[in-house]
Chains A and B, each alone.
Chain A
């Protein structure tokens, strides 16, 4: 089974990857891993046709929740991360009541406003959120050993492996959801909510479900971030990062599961390796903007459309299958 071998090879490459990198590149790799989960969770929301501008703030909800749970209540770190995701999902359910009275453009603006309100609350209430300075000294993930490998979380490599496992599990769950009848219903709600409703689908409930799941996984990504950098503040979750998430999703394409992930990885590599080496880091917003415009003009279906071209051709040459496996 060549497909199986490809997966093994990819896994081996991912395990070996940090050993070929410098310390700062290893750190970037950790952020990249976390951002992959962020953007993949964002895609689940876009399945129902809604584009939110509050996703990064929801990520922050997970970060704050997990940080506070460990700091104030002494919850054990990996469990606090899970709870951070649960709290982010619950906040999303609450937000869905006002937000899902809106659709399309209004939802976009509404989600932005909701996010800004949450950030304002973080700034306003110094207890417990720490005000504009945020929370410092967040408990790191405690070190542990699994026999053949000693996790030492001062090392980015260790955290990369740890986050990688969590992200992989989360991606697997997201993928299972998308390929399930629930995922099909999300698509149905997106393409023709009237017909979906006439088929007995509670459209409102499904939109809320997608929003809650996406937010839950965004929350976990936020918690992973918080316990890695040890300090969070409201500005870490501002609109800048949201624009990056949108850029990753648009440049990668949102028609497939891997599209946004591809966008995130490719743009991060361009940004961190190429731009940093060239000393053009300061121009990141400009260059991201240019890439976004260029990709909308010349690659309207995203990077994924290039991949699809190749896999389609391969499938066509192989078996006379009408629908190539995605």
Chain B
């Protein structure tokens, strides 16, 4: 496994607050990598910097050795790094299928002239096939024509992942994908994550459900108050004194 995605001395300041403080870690190609830490540790902020939503105050994000920090979100996405959002962020007014179709924007780039004349039927059917495939993968094919905003919370989380998956990403960043899912749904989703991994997709995941994290991840990075705390396999992290301390000492979420 080679260094594929690397975060180097990443720092983000909001006014006087340092949300992420020279954080460094490496994500190996084809692995499932967990990023954990108590509430407010800076996990989402880290995702925002990797995905190009924020420009880091300092530090670099390296993808296959290329510095992608400071690129816009769509430019990062076009390099194969696609994210989901912590709070179900969907096109609530559009149907489930249309949501997934937007996800196919990169592999099937719309062309306005072809669209007017009608020379894009191949692309359209290709995009539709891919969208349906992504929905099927996440078990959403039976709600294809429903308004995304009307879905149950768990289905909305799944749709967020389906939109990301539809774009054929190399890396998926998942921000708390299992919130709002019952244990059964969570278990099914974990199986799907394993299948994505088997397909060669690298997954970077933020999640408070420790059972899921421990069951899924090859490597886990733990952070607290914006700083790197510990890294290792599930077994190591579970028993790491600093991690236990961070979660027990004044944090709301307990592993």
Chain A interface (Cβ < 8 Å from any Cβ of B): 173, 176-177, 180-182, 184-185, 187-188, 191-192, 194-203, 209, 213, 322-323
Contacts and interface: CB of A to CB of B under 8 A. Distances in A.
B120 A201 contact: no
Interface in B38-55: 51, 53
B89 A194 contact: yes
Interface residues on B, range: 35 or more
A181 B124 contact: yes
Interface string B67-105: 000001110011000111100011111110010011101
B91 A197 contact: no
Interface string B134-166: 000000000001000000000000000001100
Contact of A191 (B78, B94, B101, B116): B94
A199 B116 CA distance: 23
Given A195-B91, A201-B74, A180 B102 contact: no
A199 B110 contact: no
Interface in B100-144: 101-103, 105-106, 108, 110-112, 115-116, 118, 120, 123-124, 127
B105 A185 contact: yes
A151 B170 CA distance: 61
A198 B101 contact: no
B53 A203 contact: no
Nearest to A172: B116
A322 B77 contact: no
A200 B85 contact: no
Given A181-B110, A191-B93, A323 B123 contact: no
Contacts of A203: 74
Contacts of B221: none
Given A185-B105, A185-B110, A197 B77 contact: yes
B167 interface: yes
18 contacts: A177-B112, A180-B110, A180-B115, A180-B116, A182-B110, A182-B115, A185-B110, A191-B91, A191-B93, A192-B91, A198-B73, A198-B83, A199-B163, A200-B82, A200-B105, A200-B106, A201-B105, A322-B145
Given A185-B105, A188-B91, A192-B90, A198 B112 contact: no
7 smallest CB-CB distances across A and B, nearest first, come from A180-B115, A181-B110, A200-B106, A200-B77, A197-B73, A188-B102, A182-B110
Interface string B229-242: 00000000000000
Most chain B beta-carbon neighbours within 10 Å: one of A176, A197, A202, A209: A197
B244 to A, nearest CB: 34
Contacts, number: 102
B74 A202 contact: yes
B171 to A, nearest CB: 12
A199 B106 CA distance: 7
B102 A199 contact: yes
A313 to B, nearest CB: 19
B74 A188 contact: no
Contact of A197 (B74, B90, B93): B74
Given A181-B108, A200-B78, A191 B115 contact: no
A214 to B, nearest CB: 13
A40 B7 CA distance: 48
B53 A194 contact: yes
A198 B120 CA distance: 24
Contact of A198 (B77, B115, B118, B145): B77
B108 A199 contact: no
A201 B102 contact: yes
A173 B111 CA distance: 14
A200 B115 contact: no
Most chain B beta-carbon neighbours within 10 Å: one of A194, A195, A200: A200
Contacts of A185: 102, 105, 110
Nearest to B101: A184
B249 to A, nearest CB: 34
Given A192-B90, A200-B167, A184 B102 contact: yes
